Amino acid sequence: MWNLLTQKTAHGNFLREKESQRYHRSLTSVKSVISTHKPPKDVPRLQFNSKRLHILKDRNDEIEHQNQILLDKMYKIDSKPSALNPINCLPKTARVNSSNSARRNRNLNRISSENKTFFKRLKRAESAYSIEKWNEEEQRRSYLKENISRSSRGCSRKNKLVQDSEVSDLIAKILSRKPMTAREVL
């Protein structure tokens, strides 16, 4: 670097700038020594990581073995007669026949039969609503909403008259519907 030493500062700055540019150019053209690309497709052993799969299989086998041991222990505990068995821990109570039990059982049977008949009626009942009608009304509603937003932005008077007649037709259609009673729904 003896040739970069100079007496004049302007020439020294020029030489330092030139050396800096050469250094940056050499850094940008550096290539890695190790290949960082994907392995080639014609070498299958590089595409398939068999060691990882082997480790996963061993781990799953170990987990399965430990689960089997736990299951055996739980079965032994459950099958052993003991004082801590939940069935044995329940308090022993004597069944008392009350004078009211027959009437309660009859009421319970009556309520169960009524519930069954009500359930059958519900299953047989057809829906009063139609998905097709809902879709038509939704399309109509979105059409009206779009027209209202357009008219608020300043569309012509002719479109407003057409919209008013369509809205009044829709209102008349809704009002002409027959109201449904509770019996018709069931």
Instruction: Give 135-160 pLDDT, tens digit per residue.
Output: 889 999 998 888 888 877 665 554 54
Asked which of 54-63, 93-102, 120-129 is least confident by mean pLDDT, the reply is: 93-102
Residue pair 176/160 in contact (Cβ under 8 Å)? The answer is no
**What is the rounded distance in angstroms from the CA atom of residue 140 to the CA atom of residue 143?**
5
| Element containing residue 166 per DSSP (H, E) | helix 157-175
Predicted pLDDT of residue 185: 47
Residue pair 186/122 in contact (Cβ under 8 Å)? The answer is yes
Predicted pLDDT of residue 50: 81
For the stretch 8-59, pLDDT in tens is: 788 888 888 999 999 998 888 888 888 777 767 777 666 677 888 899 999 9
| Better pLDDT: 119 or 184 | 119
The reply to whether the predicted model has a pTM over 0.85 is no
**What is the rounded distance in angstroms from the CA atom of residue 40 to the CA atom of residue 59?**
30
3-9: average pLDDT: 64
* C-alpha pair distances (Å), 130 with each of 37, 121, 134, 170: 60, 20, 6, 18
Predicted pLDDT of residue 59: 96
Residue type, 63: I
Instruction: Indicate the angle between helix axes 131-152 and 157-175, nearest 10 degrees.
Output: 150
| Better pLDDT: 162 or 123 | 123
Predicted pLDDT of residue 147: 85
80-102: average pLDDT: 71
* C-alpha pair distances (Å), 163 with each of 137, 174, 177: 16, 17, 22
**What is the rounded distance in angstroms from the CA atom of residue 134 to the CA atom of residue 167?**
17
Asked which of 105-109, 135-139, 181-185 is least confident by mean pLDDT, the reply is: 181-185
Nearest one of 116, 120, 114, 113 to 186, comparing CA atoms = 120
Asked which of 81-95, 110-124, 136-150 is least confident by mean pLDDT, the reply is: 81-95
Categorize the per-residue pLDDT at 109 as very low, low, confident or very high, splitting at 50, 70 and 90: very high
